[in-house]
Homo-oligomer: A and B are copies of this chain.
Amino acid sequence: MKENKYNLILSNLKLGNKEFVKAEINKLHAGDIAILINAFPREYQLDLFKLLDNELASNVLPNLFSDIQEQILSVIPPNRLINIIDEMESDEAVDILSDLEDDLSKKVLDNINKEDSEDIRRLMAYDEESAGGLMQSEFIAVETQMKRDEIIEFIRENHTDVENLHYVFVIDTEKKLVGILEITSLLLAKKNSIASSIMEKKELFVANVNMDQEQVAHIFRKYDLYILPVVDDNNLLLGRITVDDIIDVIDEEASEDAYKMVGLESEDKVFTTPLSSVKKRLPWLALNLMTALLVSSVVGIFENTISQLSFLAVLMPIVAGLGGNSGIQTLTVIIRGIALGELTIHNTRKAIFKEVTVAVINGILIGSTAMLIAYLLKSDLMLGVVLGCAMVCNMLIAGLVGSIIPIIMKSLKIDPALASSVIITMLTDIGGFASFLGLASILLV
C-alpha cells in the first residue's frame, strides 16, 4: 500500500466523495484497510467503515485496534452486524461476540446461519487463551477408508468455508482423529488409494482443546507447523488452529512479557484512551510509591551519617542506579529464556550460576573503575574503597535477585514476567543504599 493512499482516501472522505472512496478501498486488501482506519482521525474511522461491503467489513473488523472496534460495535445497526458476522470465520466471530453486551450477542447469534451459530456458541465456551479459544470450527475431515477421488469430491463440496485448507484431517468411524493428509499428497496419490494410506507417516501433532495458547505456540515453533488439529480428551476432532493466528499469539505474548516486566497491562496500547491508561497504571504506581517509601526508610536509617558526610548523598545514586540497570538486564535474559523455552527444569541452576558469575566479574571491573574515579575526585582512598565494595556487593545482589526471583516464580507457576522492574529495582535500591551507606558509616564516620 502506498503512503499517499492515506491522504487520497482521507481527503475524498472529507469531501464526501463516497463512490470514489468505495472504488479505491475495494482495490485494497482488508489488512491495508484496517491500517488506514486505525491511523485515521477518530471522526473519520466510522465513516470509512460504513463504506465497506459486508464481506470486506468481516475481514477488516478483527484487525482494528480494540478501542476502535468497540466504538464501531457500539454504533453499528444490529442488522448490519448480523450480516458481517455471518461472513466471518468462526474463531473471529467468537472474539467479536465475546466483547458484545449479552443481549446484542444473543440477537446476532439468533439471526445468523443456524449451523454457524451453533458452532460459535460452542467455541465461546472455551477460555480465550486456550487452544479452544484459538481454533476455528471450519475444517474438512474424511474417513480412513475414503478413496482419493471421493475425498476430492468431498473437498469440492465443502471447501468454500475453509480458507487456507492445505490439509484435511483423517478420522475413524467414531470421529476420532487418526491422521492428517496434505493436499499435495492427495494431488499426487493414485486414483484408488485410500485416506489412511496417503496420510502423513510422521508423528501426528495435536493440541488438546484446553491447552494454553503459549504451549500451542511452542508446538508450532518446535515442529514448524502450518495447521494443527484440536481434539478433546477422548481424541474427538473439534477444530483446527492456523499459523496466522499463532503469529498473533506470539506477538501478544511478546507484548505481554515486555509489558508485565514494567508493570503494564496488555490492554494499555498506544491509543488506549488516556483515562483508561491512567486507571490501568495507577495501582502499579501506587505499589511503586510503597516500594519507594520502603527504600527511603532504609536510607533513613543512615540519615545521621548523611548529615555528617553530605557527599554520600551525592554518590549513593551511582551504586543504586548501576545495580538497578544490571538487575533488569539479568531479569530480561532470564524471562526471554523462559518465554522461548530455552530454560528448562534441567538447567536453572546453571543459569543462576552464570548470571551471578557475570554480575561479580562486571561488579569488580566497574567497581574498581568507580573506586578510581572517587579517589581522583575526592582524593579519599577510603571513600573509593567504600564505593567500589558497595558496587560489587550490589551487582551481586542484582545478579542473584534478577535470576532467582523469576525462576522461583516460574516454579510456583506464577508468571515470571511479573517479577517486574519495580520489585527488582526496589531490591537493588535497598541493596545499593544499604551497602554504600552501611560501609560508609563503619569506615568513614
Contacts and interface: CB of A to CB of B under 8 A. Distances in A.
B159 A184 contact: yes
B187 A281 contact: no
Interface stretch (A47-55, A80-88, A171-179, A342-350): A342-350
B303 A270 contact: no
A231 interface: no
A311 B354 CA distance: 39
A296 B40 CA distance: 45
A401 to B, nearest CB: 15
Contacts of A77: none
Contacts of A264: 329, 332-333
A156 interface: yes
- Indicate the member of A243, A306, A358 with the most B CB atoms within 10 Å: A358
B317 A311 contact: no
Given A262-B332, A296-B314, A307-B307, A184 B155 contact: yes
Contacts of A373: 289, 293
Interface string A277-307: 1100110011011011101100110011011
Interface centre among A35, A183, A223 (most CB of B within 10 A): A183
A156, A221, A321, A344 — most chain B CB neighbours (10 Å): A321
A292 B318 contact: yes
Contact of A285 (B183, B187, B259, B326): B326
A370 B289 contact: yes
A296 B313 CA distance: 9
Nearest to A299: B314
A38 interface: yes
Contacts of A257: 258
- How many copies the complex holds: the figure is 2
Contacts of A243: 226, 243-244, 247
Contact of A362 (B159, B247, B285, B346): B285
Interface residues of A, number: 119
Contacts of A94: none
Contact of A263 (B224, B286, B329, B346): B329
B269 A247 contact: no
A14 interface: no
Nearest to A151: B187
17 contacts: A6-B346, A35-B341, A166-B183, A221-B251, A247-B250, A251-B254, A263-B325, A277-B358, A278-B362, A282-B366, A289-B318, A289-B322, A292-B317, A295-B321, A310-B313, A317-B320, A328-B421
